[in-house]
Amino acid sequence: MIHGKARNVIITGTGHAVPTRVLSNFDLEKMVDTSDEWIRTRTGILRRRVADEHTATSDLAAQAGRLALKDAGVSPEELDLIIVATITPDMLFPSTSCLVQKNLEAWGAACYDLSAGCSGLIYGLDMAVHSIASGAYQRALVIGADCISKVLNFQDRSTCVLFGDGAGACLLEAADQAGVLASRLGADGRGWDKLLLRGGGSRHPASPATLAAGWHYIEMCGNDVFKFAVRIMVEASLQVLADAGLQPEDIDLFIPHQANIRIIESAAQRLNLTEDQVYVNLDEYGNTSAASIGIALDEAVRSGRIKGGDRVLLVGFGAGLTWGAMIIEWVEKA
Ligand code: UT7
């Protein structure tokens, strides 16, 4: 049971959704001055999925959410909370979670969005765990979803090769069994300008000038984020392991945010994790931002890589700067 938690919380369903359109490194070679070799060796990414002009974040989020509900055997009317973690909402307001609620017809759910970059899913899970543990809510749907391709400058090779679109969802409910063992969130707003979308908000409202400056696109200091990621992945993992009274060798599956294979390998090595303890799918999807951990978790559960009793460590980092880590003792569905 985690600190301050009155009852246990488990994930009873998972789901994910990605667009059908595949954009390979070879496709990108034709669009910008890059190469498959550079992208593969510097990031580990081979291809990513990209949403078409009719698809927005709420569409993928609702698709993933519906699958998680089905997996859990819960109907939309039984939901009392929907949290969507995203940095690419359909629009500034209303919240993307309200659009998901409408799509799912989950009329009894309170809805809010959460902006924590690629740590978003873990932030959402943490919020839902505490909301359910307190007794205030019974069933929460947490979705990490982003269409980063919509805010990428496909002439900027330093960002456009890294990201893909997708959504990952988890259904959480109260339970007697172990479930979420420990959870930690953190942030350092001093790093606000390391990864951002400058325009379109109240600081720099959208205007011909912000468009001309390209402030509707993602900007990133790649090297600074890389150094932060390598450090924080290890620190956050060690903190949450200590909270749960566990060692790295007690972890059956480590699911890190899928940003760069070099970041994942460095963290795994410093945590003394073996290759088969680490889940990697960024070769297929690239960095799907708030969706990445949810997509990986759903794939791992559905492929049998996670079984009842397994201890799973989730860890993410992202814009803000933010980070989060969570350990779950997996409970097999009855
Ligand atoms: O979810 C959180 C989001 N962000 C991240 O996780 C990003 C973390 N950072 C990274 O993953 C890495 O810093 C990058 C993959 C973004 C960059 O890798 P790097 O090894 O740090 O490369 P670099 O930025 O130091 O660039 C090395 C060279 C540069 O050329 P010069 O100046 O050495 O001649 C770049 O211009 O690679 C060049 N370069 C490219 N070349 C071909 C940068 N992007 C590309 C590209 N294709 N796409």
Q: pLDDT of 178-206, one tens digit each?
A: 799 999 999 999 999 999 999 999 999 99
Nearest-atom number in ligand 1 for the CA of 220 is 4
Count CA atoms within 13 Å of residue 242 on its CB side.
Answer: 8
Q: Is there a catalytic annotation at residue 111?
A: no
Q: What is the DSSP string of 217-232?
A: S-EE-HHHHHHHHHHH
Taking CA atoms only, the protein residue closest to ligand 1 atom 21 is: 223
Contact 125, 170 (CB under 8 A): yes
Exposed, middle or buried: residue 318 (CB in 10 Å: 0-12, 13-18, 19+)? buried
CA-CA-CA-CA dihedral for 250, 256, 261, 264, to nearest 10: -50
Instruction: Give me the tens of pLDDT residue by residue for the chain, a chain 334 residues long.
Output: 455 556 899 999 999 999 999 999 999 999 999 999 999 999 999 999 999 999 999 999 999 999 999 999 999 999 999 999 999 999 999 999 999 999 999 999 999 999 999 999 999 999 999 999 999 999 999 999 999 999 999 999 999 999 999 999 999 999 987 799 999 999 999 999 999 999 999 999 999 999 999 999 999 999 999 999 999 999 999 999 999 999 999 999 999 999 999 999 999 999 999 999 999 999 999 999 999 999 999 999 999 999 999 999 999 999 999 999 999 999 987 6
| C-beta atoms surrounding 192 within 10 Å | 12
Taking CA atoms only, the protein residue closest to ligand 1 atom 6 is: 259
Mutate to test the pocket of ligand 1, among 156, 224, 226 (most ligand atoms within 8 A of CB): 226
What is the amino acid identity at position 137?
A: Y
For 313, the token pair is 């460590």
What is the amino acid identity at position 68?
A: A
In eight-state DSSP terms, residue 113 is E
pLDDT tens-digit profile of 248-293? 999 999 999 999 999 999 999 999 999 999 999 999 999 999 999 9
For 57, 72, 106, 251, the CA distances from 75, given in Å and listed in that order, are: 22, 9, 8, 32
The reported pLDDT for the residue numbered 135 is: 93
Whether 154 lines ligand 1, by a CB cut-off of 6 Å, is no
Contact 161, 25 (CB under 8 A): yes
Q: Is there a catalytic annotation at residue 257?
A: yes
Q: Is there a catalytic annotation at residue 103?
A: no
Q: Catalytic one among 98, 111, 118, 170?
A: 118
Sheet holding 179-187, edge to edge: 179-187, 322-329, 311-318, 253-256
Q: In this structure, are strands 179-187 and 322-329 parallel, antiparallel, or unpaired?
A: antiparallel
DSSP E strand boundaries for 228-277: 253-256
Mutate to test the pocket of ligand 1, among 41, 42, 146 (most ligand atoms within 8 A of CB): 42
Contact 242, 279 (CB under 8 A): no
Rounded Cα distance between 306 and 299, Å, is 9
What is the amino acid identity at position 44?
A: G
For 66, the token pair is 């519906």
